[in-house]
Amino acid sequence: MHKKVIFDKKISLVIGGAGFIGSNLCEELLKTSKVICVDDFSSGNEKNIDHLLSEPDFEFVNHDMSTEIDLESLPELQKFKIKFQGIQDIYNLACPMSINDFNKNKIKVLLANSLVVKNALDLALKYEAKFLHFSSSVVYGDRSKNPGKIEEAEIGKSDFLSSRSSYDEGKRFAETMVMNYRREASVDAKIIRVFRTYGPKMQLFDSQIIPDFINAALENKPITIYGDENFTTSLCYISYLLDAVNKIMDSDFFGPVNIGSDVEINLTHVANKIKELTNSSSEIVYKKELEFLSPLCFPDINLAKKSLGWLPIVTLEKGLQETVHHLQVNKGLKDIRTIQFDNE
């Protein structure tokens, strides 16, 4: 039994903690917890956690979670007294997310959606920890087959032999594993299905919509939309994803639950907002749709509202302003333009 006395703060384990969402989550958890961040930098970025390394309640472990890990034997974790306190919360975000490197990472993606999930769940079983798995909207399949807002009860459909099946079908299998550990091993496991999210610490130069738009605008280069002027998507700011994470971990609700914005946004409108924020002269161009930049389903978030009291309310303008600010600082640009928008 590892549910033991908590000495001062609970211990949270974030697997995939150097990525965009994971590193933001580590920062949030440090407000109340000791945090162990595990990552092998398959697609995470060391810069995302550099500023946390000096924090006494933070420790980074470079490890590929497709192989088992003995947390109690690691010298750097002795200060957390895991042998006596155990681990209270485990967050699994591990999955290579680099779009540009996807083809060379297909096997790692398969392992992330199978062995990594198993090893993470086994830790939750060992320490009787709460477990939150970050799934994806891709479990629902192509938007063309689900044109409206999609509810969690929708089974969805994906091509398990497609060129991106290691991710799409892998995410479906990962959910299967989580739910079976919950039912058969009594792990307190929960699932959120994350829709398109943006904010500080997103990877540059990786065919990600928002950072690529901002980077192009800052350099007055063409802003490329892979689709036509009718391409729409949903965009949820990172702080509201983290709010949902806190709410589900503090509740008895276990999901799966859609977490994302249910507001449909035109990408040309987004590009123009970014041009305003950066005072850019970039032109907007349209090119053939890319495999990983295709239109995704829109979430029905009524279950999150009802079960978690959760609603994303950060406006697009405010979210973009924060993201632009972060990327400008990262690029060493000091001329940050602040724009006041209506209704804010």
Q: In this model, does residue 340 exceed pLDDT 50?
A: no
From the list 91, 127, 140, 167, the catalytic residue is 167
Q: Which helix H or strand E contains 103, and what residues bound it?
A: none
pLDDT confidence band for 143 (50 / 70 / 90): low
User: Of 1 and 169, which is predicted with more confidence?
Assistant: 169
**Whether 167 is catalytic:** yes
| AA letter at 76 | E
Q: What residue spans define the domains of the chain?
A: 11-195+238-259
**pLDDT tens digits along 153-174:** 998 777 888 888 888 899 999 9
**pLDDT tens digits along 45-93:** 899 999 999 999 999 999 999 999 999 999 999 999 999 999 999 999 9
Superfamily of structural domain 11-195+238-259: NAD(P)-binding Rossmann-like Domain (3.40.50.720)
Rounded distance, CA 271 to CA 39, Å?
32
Q: In this model, does residue 344 exceed pLDDT 60?
A: no
pLDDT score for 97: 76
Q: In this model, does residue 293 exceed pLDDT 70?
A: no
pLDDT confidence band for 238 (50 / 70 / 90): very high
Rounded distance, CA 258 to CA 295, Å?
17
- Please work out, in degrees rounded to the nearest 5, the angle formed at the alpha carbon of residue 144 by the alpha carbons of 142 and 149: 85
**pLDDT tens digits along 259-287:** 999 999 999 999 999 999 999 999 999 99
pLDDT score for 291: 66
Rounded distance, CA 155 to CA 147, Å?
14
**And the tokens for 66?**
């497709």
